[in-house]
Amino acid sequence: MKIQLFFPKDLKPYLEFNPTLGYIQGNSQFEIWLKFRPDRTILTACSKYLVRKNHDEAPKDEFEEFTMKIPIKVTGANQVLPVKFNILCCFSVSAVTFTPP
């Protein structure tokens, strides 16, 4: 059976699956590898995937912790329903700040 993996195009510079297309036989396994290479630009380029506790509040500063929910879809040939799941990523900065200085 042919299986194919889909993820949002906005995340292409940051997310890589290998392979995105494969063939599997009954009662066997198929591994898909994920390589995630985020940088600071992901927070602005893919902001629609950010999950915040309070959607009305803006981020306090650049050191606030963020969680991103990335939707993934796997389709199989001759299968009626695709398999949908999310990858959750928690971003934090490895900086320590002291207030007052």
What is the value of pTM for the model shown? 0.74
> Which of 74, 79, 83 lies closest to 7, judged by CA?
74
Judged against a pLDDT cut of 90, whether residue 94 lies above it is answered with no
Handedness of CA 85, 47, 8, 79 (dihedral sign): positive
pLDDT of residue 58: 60
User: Over the stretch 42-77, which tens digit does the pLDDT of each residue have?
Assistant: 888 888 888 866 656 665 655 566 788 999 999 988
Judged against a pLDDT cut of 70, whether residue 79 lies above it is answered with yes
pLDDT bracket for residue 5 (50, 70, 90) = very high
User: Over the stretch 7-38, which tens digit does the pLDDT of each residue have?
Assistant: 999 999 999 999 989 998 888 888 899 999 98
Asked if residues 3 and 23 have their Cβ atoms less than 8 Å apart, the reply is yes
